[in-house]
Amino acid sequence: MSGFDIFAIALALVVIATLFAGVKTVPQGFDWTIERFGKYTRTLRPGLNFIIPYFDRVGRKINMMEQVIDIPEQEVITKDNATVTVDGVAFFQVFDAAKASYEVANLNQAIVTLTMTNIRSVMGSMDLDQVLSHRDEINERLLRVVDAAVSPWGLKVNRIEIKDIVPPADLVEAMGRQMKAERVKRADILQAEGQRQSEILRAEGAKQAQILQAEGRREAAFRDAEARERSAEAEARATQMVSSAIASGDVAALNYFIADKYIRAFGEIAQSPNQKIVMLPIEATGILSSLAGIGEIAKATFGESAASAAAAARRGSVPAAGAPPATPPPAGRG
């Protein structure tokens, strides 16, 4: 094999190798920086690219996709001196591959450190209660500060999220007790409130009942009075009717009624269970004389024949003083 043979083969190989070295296919999601003799010149975008072999070389292959970095746990002292353990995540994306390559030595470490120190400063300016309840505000403040700080590095922090905020165990226990006490207090208050309400309702009910009863009594009294009035009125009317009847009619009719009542009353006295004493009215004999009144009526009604019979019956009767007003003997008697 002559020197020329080797030269020819070597030449062909070198040419092919050179051609391949000049072609750079950059995958999507990455930007490659190109250094010419060590100095940055340009950035290769995803796709097919050409560089000049022997002069240029690929410097850094920068990931242009959004990336997530864990912010490790750290202890933070809040404004009210509670020590809490905090961790989080940061999302960032490189926008300028050259700056991200050469402006900062260790990008991820720089972002993590920056975020950690800012978490300390933001949370250190808040009370524990605020820290636990204002995560959005913390995230927002962190984002603004960190994003401004990383701008020279050609990247943008899209979000910073606090993941866990863990207060010390004894503090958590105290918080639990506080919440329990709070709830017990609420329950007690509610119960007392309920009792108060029920007492009030019961008293209201009793009051209503009494009012209603009084109203009932009042109403009843009114009606009783009315009834009495009505009956008195009726009595008066009846009396009036009787008196007008007497005025326009015969006294003998009145005598009949009275005698009838008289006898009935006497019958009732006789029937009373008290057998030893029989009450007799002073003018018991008046009863009999009242019968004469009846006779008079009969006479007036049925004529002489009946009258003579009545007179015969009357012969045994003894007229008595104090008898109910008897009819005056008719003319032509005896």
Residues of this chain that interact with other proteins (CB under 8 A) are 4-5, 7-9, 11-12, 14-16, 19-20, 22-23, 25, 28-29, 45-48, 50, 64-65, 93, 95-96, 99, 143-144, 147-148, 151, 154-156, 158-159
Name the residue nearer to other proteins (CB basis): 156 or 314: 156
- In the bound complex, what is the minimum distance in angstroms from residue 150's beta carbon to other proteins? 8
HSE at residue 43, side-chain half, CA atoms within 13 A, is 16
Strands 56-63 and 47-50: unpaired
- In the bound complex, what is the minimum distance in angstroms from residue 148's beta carbon to other proteins? 7
- In the bound complex, what is the minimum distance in angstroms from residue 173's beta carbon to other proteins? 36
Query: Can you point out the beta strands (E) in 95-229?
Result: 155-166
Residues 239-268 as b or e (16 or more Cβ within 10 Å = b): eeeeeeeeeeeebbebbbeebeebeeebee
Name the residue nearer to other proteins (CB basis): 54 or 247: 54
Instruction: Give the pair of three-digit tokens for residue 283.
Output: 């003018």
- In the bound complex, what is the minimum distance in angstroms from residue 153's beta carbon to other proteins? 9
Name the residue nearer to other proteins (CB basis): 145 or 326: 145
For residue 209, what are the CA distances in angstroms to 102, 201, 204, 215? 93, 12, 9, 10
DSSP β-bridge partners for residue 93: 156
Query: Can you point out the beta strands (E) in 78-203?
Result: 83-94, 155-166
Name the residue nearer to other proteins (CB basis): 41 or 63: 63
- In the bound complex, what is the minimum distance in angstroms from residue 12's beta carbon to other proteins? 5
Name the residue nearer to other proteins (CB basis): 65 or 282: 65
